[in-house]
Amino acid sequence: MITVHHLNNSRSQRILWMLEELGVPYEIKRYERDAKTMLAPESLKKVHPLGKSPVITDGDLVVAESGAIIEYLAHTYGKDTMLPEAGGQAWLDYTYWLHYAEGSLMPPLVMRLVFEKIKTSPMPFFIKPVAKGISDKTNEIFIGPMIKTHLDFVEAHLAKNTWFLGDNLSAADIQMSFPLEASVARGIVGKNRPNITAWVERVHARPAYQTALEKGGEYDFA
């Protein structure tokens, strides 16, 4: 039996979605973020030394990192449904999007979140204007343009594809769900990228996604 070590409001939600799409039985062990730091609890380190989510156990196997988990599940349980045939262009595209999600798209989104948090963090009153100025300027000249480039790139791809590999859902879509859901929920996508918004709506409309959401609980990016 697969156990998903599931942290609220985290990337582990997409692992539940993938398992529902595959129809693979699993159980959930829940973990809650610290209310002040929003970090995962120390108890997750008993499963994996880094104490991060997602992480799954499948028998004696422990698999961490979203991409590694999705690849493991796709190869082990979903070769006929979640993976393209190896060796062709579809396989290269699948590999690209699987790595792009966390390797290229997520870093500037995380940086944006960190710099926004700086503006509201406790600090001496005379430091606040300086911190706000640095945060705003960094977002304006560096992080914002980077995010725009990435979202425009994804928008152009989805203008020609229903899912990331074409007409059928694949493991690449599962991996891409977290950064795109977060971007829509935080208002970063905006109204001028309708294809990303439509893709997220298609994701949310899938019965497997809805079941995973019911089982996973709270999931709020905003």
Q: How far apart are CA 33 and CA 104, in angstroms?
A: 25
Architecture, CATH, for domain 2-83+212-216: 3-Layer(aba) Sandwich (3.40)
Other CB atoms closer than 10 Å to residue 220's CB: what's the count?
Answer: 7
Q: How far apart are CA 42 and CA 63, in angstroms?
A: 18
What does the pLDDT read at residue 135? 73
Tokens of 87: 């060796």
What does the pLDDT read at residue 52? 85
DSSP string covering the chain: -EEEEEETTSTHHHHHHHHHHHT--EEEEEE---TTT-PPPGGGGGTSTT--S-EEEETTEEEESHHHHHHHHHHHH-TTTT-PPTTSHHHHHHHHHHHHIIIIIHHHHHHHHHHHHHHHS---TTTHHHHHHHHHHHIIIIIHHHHHHHHHHHHHHHTS-SBTTBSS--HHHHHHHHHHHHHHHTT-S-TT-HHHHHHHHHHHHSHHHHHHHHHH------
Main-chain phi, psi angles of 67, to 5 degrees: -60, -40
Domain span(s) for CATH 3.40.30.10 in the chain: 2-83+212-216
pTM for this model (two decimals): 0.90
Tokens of 23: 């129809």
Peptide bond preceding 49: is omega within 30 degrees of 0, i.e. cis?
no
Please check whether residue 212 is in contact with residue 138, taking contact to mean a CB–CB distance below 8 angstroms. Answer: no
Main-chain phi, psi angles of 217, to 5 degrees: 85, -150
Domain span(s) for CATH 1.20.1050.10 in the chain: 89-206
Q: Kindly give the parts of the chain with pLDDT less than 70.
A: 123, 125-126, 130-131, 221-222
Tokens of 36: 């002040």
What does the pLDDT read at residue 24? 96
Main-chain phi, psi angles of 214, to 5 degrees: -60, -40
The model's pLDDT over 163-200, given as tens digits with 9 standing for 90+, comes to: 999 999 999 999 999 999 999 999 999 999 999 999 99
Nearest to 12 by CA among 206, 213, 222: 213
**How far is residue 19 CA from its own chain's centroid?**
15
Task: Give the percent of the chain with pLDDT over 90.
Answer: 66
Q: How far apart are CA 203 and CA 212, in angstroms?
A: 12
Taking domain 89-206, whether its CATH number is 1.20.1050.10 is answered by yes
What does the pLDDT read at residue 130? 59
Q: What is the sign of the dihedral through the CA atoms of 52, 29, 8 and 4?
A: positive
What does the pLDDT read at residue 123? 65
